[in-house]
Chains A and B, each alone.
Chain A
Amino acid sequence: MAERLLSVEGLRVEFKTRDGIAKVIDNLSISLDTGETLGIVGESGCGKSMTALSIMGLVPIPPGRIAGGRILLDGEDLLQANEQRMREVRGNEISMIFQEPMTSLNPVYSIGNQIAETARLHEGLSRADAMARALEMLQAVGIPAAEKRIHEYPHQMSGGMRQRVMIAMALACKPRVLIADEPTTALDVTVQAQIFDLLNDLKEKTGTAIIMITHDMGAIAEMAQRVVVMYAGRIIEQAGVTQILTDPRHPYTQGLIRCVPHLTRNPTVERPPLLEIPGVVPALSQLGSGCAFAPRCPYADAKCRAEMPPSRAVDSGHDVACWLTEREAAA
C-alpha cells in the first residue's frame, strides 16, 4: 500500500538579484508516495534544481530565501528542522545526485573512500565495514571489477561510471527518497539509457522513491508514474504519466510532447532537446501579473496577459493552470 512519504506545500523561494527579488519558486506543491517515481519536467531555469535543493535544505542563503511553505517528510516539517537534523536527513533519508558527474566527486579521494564516508557518517560503521558496504554498492550499480575499481580515483573513470558511483554513494544508506537532478544530461545517449535502466532496477529492489528531474520527456515516459510540469517557477500541469503523454492540456506541455513525436513508440532511441517551442522563458524579475507562458502561447488573449490562471482539476489527478481549460469548460 503506497503511503504519502514527502509533500511540499506552497513552497516559495526568492533570490535577491541586481534587479530586485526574483520569485524562483512560487507556490509549488508536490507529493511523493512510497515506491513511486515522480517526474519533474521543464526547460532550463524553470526552478527544478531549486526545488530539489529546497527539499535537501541546500538553497544558498543568502542570496536565496525560503519565503514560505512546508516540506513534510513523514509529517515532519524540514523547513523548521535545525541544521543538525538536516545533516541526518541528507544522504540518509533523502539523497541527491547531480547533473555534473564529471565534477561532483572529490578528485583527491578514492571513490571507495567517498562512498564509505556516507555509511560511516550515518550508520557509524567501522572503516572496514564501510568499505565492504561501498564494494557492495559498486557491484549493485553495475561497475565491472568493482573490487579493483573501488581504489580508483574519479579522474580514472568515464562520466557514466562516475554517475554510477554517485548513485552508489546516494543509495549507500538506503534512503527513502532519491532526487535525481538531470542525472544523464551530460552523458551520451547509450549511457543515458543504461542509467535509467539502473535507476528503475534499483528502485524495484530497494523501494526507494525517486524524484526524477529532467527536461527529457522520453526519460519520463520510461520511468515516472506521475509528472509535474514546471514553467517559470510554477507548476502548470500535473498528472499521471499516461494522461500527460496522451492528453496534455497546457499549451506548454503540448509543445513539449510534440517535440518528441516518436515518444510512445521507442522512448530510448533518440531524444532531441526541447528547443522547438518558439521563444524563451522570461526572466523571473520581468514576470507580469498574467500567465508566464503568454508571450509564447498561440492561444494567449487579453485575460491571459492580465491575470494568472489558477490551477484547476480537469480530470481525477490531472491539474492544469491555464485559462483555456476554463474557456473549454464554459463552452
Chain B
Amino acid sequence: MQFLTVVARRFLYAFLLLLAVIVFNFVLLYLVPGDIAETIAGESGGASAELMAEIRRSYGLDQPFHVQLLTYVGKVLQGDLGSSYYFNAPVLDLILGRLGPTLLLVVTALLLAIFAGTLFGVIAAQRPNGIFSHFITILALIGFSAPVFWTAFLLIILFVSILQIMPLSGLAEPLSETGTWKWYLDVAHHLFLPVVSLSSIYLAQYSRLARASMMDILGSDYIRTARAKGLGQRMIIYKHALRNAVIPVITIAGLQFSHIFSGAVVIETVFSWPGLGTLAFESILRGDTPTIMGILFFSAFVVIVFNLLTDLAYRIIDPRIRLSNTA
C-alpha cells in the first residue's frame, strides 16, 4: 500500500512539473518580440487594421495575460500545441510523426549503454588488473572526452567509407515497403551507427561506474555470506552482486535521460535520422516558433515521463527505496 501511495505521489509531482513547463513555455511565447497577429496576418497575405483586430479577437490575443495563460494551458492539456507556420499543420501531428524514430534511437541507445555498460563493468571488476579492465578504462576515457559528433564521423569513416557495410543516413532505404520483415531489418541496419555513436559516451561512463560499484560490492560482507553458503561464482556475481551494482547505473541513467535526448539532436542531424531532433533543427532555421515550442514542451514531457519510469524501475530493484516513504 505504502508503495502505491509513493507511486501516486510521484505521478502528482510529474504532473505539477509538466504544468510548470507549460506555463514557462507560454511566458516565453508571450515575451517573444514581435506581434503574433502580424505574423499570422503576414501568412494570410494582408494586414489591414480591421483584419488585425479581427485576428486579435478570434485568437484571443486581446484578452488579459491570465486569461490567455489559462486558455493556453487548457489547450495544451488537451493536446493542442498550435499550428506550424511552415507546414500549416497541427504541431502535435508533426511531433507524433517524428516521435517514433527518436524514441527508437534514444531508448535503444540508453538500453544498450545500460546493459552493455553494466556487463563490461562486471566483467572488468572480476580482474581489476586484467587486459579487459584496462581496455574498459581506455574506452571510457575516449568515449567520455570525444564529442559525440566526432565519434559519429569516425564511425562513418570506418563503417561507411572504408568497410562499406553500413548505410550513411536515413531511417530505411526509400523504396522498401514498410512493415515487412525486410523493412525492420533495414531499419535496424540504419539504426546501428546512430545508436552506437549516441551510446558511446554513456556506455563508457556506465562501464566505469559498474566496475567501481562491482568492485566495492565484491568486497562486501553479504558477498562473503553468499560464499559461506556455498554458492558458486556465477550465482554470486549474477544474483547477489549484479542487482546491487546496477542500482547506481540506473540512477545515473535516469538523471542523464535529458542529456541523451539532447545528444540525439546532434546524432539525428549527422545521420539525417527523421526524428524530433532534425525537426527541431530545421524549425529553428525556418523560424517556425509554434513547432519549436511544441518540441520544447514535448521533450520536457518525455523527459518527465522517463524520469518517472526510472524512478519506478529502481524502486522495483531496490527494496530499501521501494519501502521507504521518502519521495
Instruction: Tell me the bound Cα distance from A53 to B194 in angstroms.
Output: 51
Q: Does A117 contact B (CB under 8 A)?
A: yes
Instruction: Tell me the bound Cα distance from A91 to B244 in angstroms.
Output: 23
Q: Does A103 contact B (CB under 8 A)?
A: yes
Instruction: Tell me the bound Cα distance from A96 to B230 in angstroms.
Output: 11
A-facing residues in B3-43 (Cβ within 8 Å): none
Q: Does B50 contact A (CB under 8 A)?
A: no
Q: Does A281 contact B (CB under 8 A)?
A: no
Q: Which of A86, A88, A104, A155 contacts B320 (CB 8 A)?
A: A155
B317 and A121 within 8 A (CB): no
- By a CB distance below 8 angstroms, the chain A residues around B319 are 107-108, 110, 153, 155
Minimum C-beta distance from B122 to chain A (A): 15
- Counted as pairs of residues, one from A and one from B, with CB atoms less than 8 Å apart, the total is 71
Minimum C-beta distance from B319 to chain A (A): 4
Q: Does A232 contact B (CB under 8 A)?
A: no
Instruction: Tell me the bound Cα distance from A110 to B243 in angstroms.
Output: 13
Instruction: Tell me the bound Cα distance from A275 to B107 in angstroms.
Output: 60
Q: Does B262 contact A (CB under 8 A)?
A: no
A58 and B230 within 8 A (CB): no
B-facing residues in A226-254 (Cβ within 8 Å): none
A107 and B226 within 8 A (CB): no
Binary A-proximity of B304-327 (CB < 8 A = 1, otherwise 0): 000000000000011110010000
Instruction: Tell me the bound Cα distance from A241 to B110 in angstroms.
Output: 63
Q: Which residue of B lies closest to A169 (CB)?
A: B229
Q: Does A65 contact B (CB under 8 A)?
A: no
Contact of A87 with B317 at beta-carbon distance under 8 Å, contacts A58-B224, A153-B323, A166-B225 already known: no
Minimum C-beta distance from B80 to chain A (A): 45
- By a CB distance below 8 angstroms, the chain A residues around B231 are 87, 117, 121
Q: Which of A88, A91, A103, A110 contacts B228 (CB 8 A)?
A: A91
Q: Count the A residues whose beta carbon is within 8 Å of the partner chain — how many?
A: 30
B243 and A96 within 8 A (CB): no
- By a CB distance below 8 angstroms, the chain B residues around A103 are 220-222
- By a CB distance below 8 angstroms, the chain A residues around B224 are 58, 98, 104
Q: Does A118 contact B (CB under 8 A)?
A: yes
A107 and B228 within 8 A (CB): no
Contact of A90 with B230 at beta-carbon distance under 8 Å, contacts A108-B317, A153-B323, A155-B319 already known: yes
Binary A-proximity of B203-236 (CB < 8 A = 1, otherwise 0): 0000000000000000011101111111110000
B222 and A91 within 8 A (CB): no
- By a CB distance below 8 angstroms, the chain B residues around A95 are 228
Contact of A121 with B225 at beta-carbon distance under 8 Å, contacts A106-B240, A107-B318 already known: no
- By a CB distance below 8 angstroms, the chain B residues around A58 are 224, 227-228
Q: Which residue of B lies closest to A92 (CB)?
A: B230
- By a CB distance below 8 angstroms, the chain B residues around A117 are 229, 231
Minimum C-beta distance from A91 to chain B (A): 4
B-facing residues in A92-137 (Cβ within 8 Å): 92, 95-96, 98, 100, 103-110, 117-118, 121-122
15 contacts between A and B (CB under 8 A): A56-B228, A87-B231, A88-B230, A89-B230, A90-B228, A90-B229, A91-B229, A95-B228, A98-B224, A98-B228, A103-B221, A108-B319, A110-B319, A155-B319, A169-B225
**16 new A-B pairs (CB below 8 Å) besides A96-B228, A98-B224?**
A56-B228, A58-B224, A58-B228, A87-B231, A88-B230, A90-B228, A98-B221, A103-B222, A105-B225, A106-B226, A106-B240, A107-B320, A118-B229, A121-B231, A122-B230, A155-B319
Interface residues of B, Cβ cutoff 8 Å to A: 220-222, 224-232, 240, 243-244, 247, 317-320, 323
